């Protein structure tokens, strides 16, 4: 337990499990109050109940503007402000040939991985300005920096998130809003089987072999990286795509 985010209010999307749950839990441990936002309302409620009084659950589809408005309103209504936005919700197609991905899946990937960042930024930035600034963290991926075959359209969406983060950082700097991207390697989350194509010991070992530190990422890895970037310790860090990848992108 610490106080690195004491007095701060955060929204974490995709927070019912995986990286998002890890980030939200770590933030509260360091003094923040957090809105747990996820399409999985039951999962969000479970995480909020586990965390305690400093968390509130919101059922939200991050691609729907009304849900995004409700998510931001929950931060303001329950905790009075908004200092940190973590756009963590993500979606992917199953590893396979790019020509086999249908249009509906393609649209969903870019709705969740790109449009959601746009919508949340539109609604969060004015609220952050009221208190003099804030921090936006966008979960991108090593896929946007060093793509693997078989995930072409997902890779492209994460490349978008990285470029958007850098451009947002420049434009929002005068408002005292820092923007950074987190780039994890494949991790122990609910989407792992999609990244692998099939979740077998052999496929896991194939992926691990490309990571110099010899393992997949874990929620606590992302949580600790997000904590630092969201804290005042990183007050001069903006426009960075931080690789949380055990050396995968070296």
Q: Is 91 a residue of the active site?
A: no
- Could you tell me which of 128, 237, 115 has the C-alpha nearest to residue 164? 115
> For residue 109, which phi and psi values (nearest 5 degrees)?
-60, -50
Residues 8 and 127: their CA atoms lie apart, in Å, by 13
Angle (CA) 71 141 66, round 5°: 20
DSSP string, 87-136: E-----PPSS-GGG--HHHHHHHHIIIIIHHHHHHHHHHHHHHHTT-EEE
Residues 215 and 197: their CA atoms lie apart, in Å, by 18
Element (H, E) at 12: strand 9-13
Radius of gyration (Cα) for the chain, nearest Å? 17
Catalytic residue among 91, 154, 160, 195: 154
- Could you tell me which of 211, 186, 72 has the C-alpha nearest to residue 129? 72
Tokens of 43: 């999962």
Tokens of 250: 């070296």
Alpha-carbon distances, residue 2 vs 31, 110, 129 (angstroms) = 7, 37, 26
Is residue 112 within 8 Å of 63, Cβ to Cβ? yes
> For residue 8, which phi and psi values (nearest 5 degrees)?
-90, 150
- Catalytic residue set: 154
């Amino acid at each position: 337990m610490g106080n690195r985010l004491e007095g701060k209010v955060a929204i974490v999307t995709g927070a019912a499990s995986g990286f998002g749950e890890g980030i939200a839990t770590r933030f509260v441990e360091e003094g923040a109050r957090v809105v747990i936002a996820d399409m999985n309302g039951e999962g969000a409620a479970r995480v909020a109940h586990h965390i305690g009084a400093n968390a509130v659950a919101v059922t939200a589809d991050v691609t729907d503007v009304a849900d995004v408005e409700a998510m931001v309103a929950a931060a303001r209504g329950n905790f009075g402000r908004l200092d940190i936005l973590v756009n963590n919700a993500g979606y992917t197609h199953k590893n396979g040939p790019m020509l086999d991905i249908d249009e509906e899946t393609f649209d969903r990937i870019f709705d969740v991985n790109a449009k959601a960042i746009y919508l949340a930024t539109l609604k969060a930035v004015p609220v952050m300005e009221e208190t003099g600034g804030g921090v936006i963290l966008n979960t991108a991926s090593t896929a946007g920096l060093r793509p693997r075959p078989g995930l072409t359209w997902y890779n492209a969406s994460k490349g978008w998130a990285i470029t958007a983060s850098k451009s947002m950082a420049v434009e929002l700097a005068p408002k005292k809003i820092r923007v950074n991207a987190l780039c994890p390697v494949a991790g122990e989350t609910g989407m792992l089987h999609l990244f692998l194509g099939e979740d077998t010991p052999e496929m896991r070992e194939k992926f691990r072999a490309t990571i110099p530190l010899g393992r997949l990422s874990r929620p606590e890895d992302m949580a600790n990286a997000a904590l630092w970037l969201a804290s005042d310790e990183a007050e001069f860090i903006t426009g960075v795509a931080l690789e949380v990848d055990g050396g995968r992108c070296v």
